[in-house]
Amino acid sequence: LSLGNLVWLESDNSGTRQVATEHGIPGVTVDLFRDSNVDGSLALGVDTLQDVTVTDTNGDFLFENLFPGQFIVQLSPTNFAQGGVLWGLTSSSGNEPTPDPDNDLNGDDNGDLVAGLGIVSQAVLLTGNGEPANDGDGDTNSNLTVDFGLVAQVDLAIVKSDNVDPVVPGENLIYTLVVTNNGPSDATGVIVSDTLPDEVSYVTGSATQGSISEAGQNVTAELGALDVGDTAMITVEVTVDSSTT
């Protein structure tokens, strides 16, 4: 019997792989444990480490020559250490609660982040001639449906200030929002939304990158990509209603 299959980088955190645009991650250390106490979860010191492999250039992994039984697949914590191949990444949350890998669906995320254990699948039951034939190899002694979707971890900080403060009713006021990517990964598709107080009216806005728009009292800045350590500035000019006290 054999068990695989893929570790891939998600762009949309959907929990489902988009084959045309989302690609596998090579060089990931993958551990296979036999679920010795048959409780469905990984217990170090109880469950037996069966094998260790590394994903290939396509992000695929495969464990072969297995006997029937329950198995748990782990993406080792060493992958997530600084400098590791999965540094700055975490498990997809788009299809939570995470599906049981025994559902035999291909291309869905089957991993959960577990403190101290990296990313771990639920137990997979392997049986002779009982594995899916629609997972790419047509072999009922092979299960190639255990997949792990990874997404970038991004910490975006926003600091908002205004000038002049206090402002005189009827005069203009400028809001400034500074957006900083504190990492550990680059950010893509960054969108910042800000709701203006009812006491002001939008005049104009600008951003150091991307575009800015306004609808009602909602201002939206589509900033695009923001690399680790980079900063973008959004400026919004408003008029304070003359009736404001």
Tell me, rounded to whole angstroms, the distance of Cα 88 from its chain centroid. Answer: 10
Section 67-94 average pLDDT: 95
The confidence score (pLDDT) of residue 78 equals 96
For residue range 129-172, what is the model confidence (pLDDT) as tens digits?
999 999 989 999 999 999 999 998 889 999 999 988 788 889 99
Please determine, for residue 197, whether its predicted confidence score (pLDDT) is greater than 80.
yes
CB-based contacts of 199: which residues, under 8 Å, 6+ apart? 240, 241, 244
Residue 214 phi/psi, 5° resolution? Answer: -140, 135
pLDDT at 66 over 90: yes
**pLDDT-based confidence at 174, cuts 50/70/90?**
very high
Q: What percent of the chain has pLDDT over 90?
A: 88
pLDDT tens digit sequence for 214-242: 998 999 999 999 999 999 999 999 999 98
Q: Which pLDDT score is estimated for 244?
A: 79
Residue 166 has what pLDDT? 81
Are the CB atoms for 71 and 126 separated by under 8 Å?
yes
What are 137's two structure tokens?
A: 């190899």
Q: What is the pTM of this model?
A: 0.76
**Helix or strand or coil: residue 176?**
strand
- Whether 167 contacts 173, CB under 8 Å: yes
> What pLDDT score was predicted for residue 15?
94
Helix (H) or strand (E) holding 53: strand 48-54
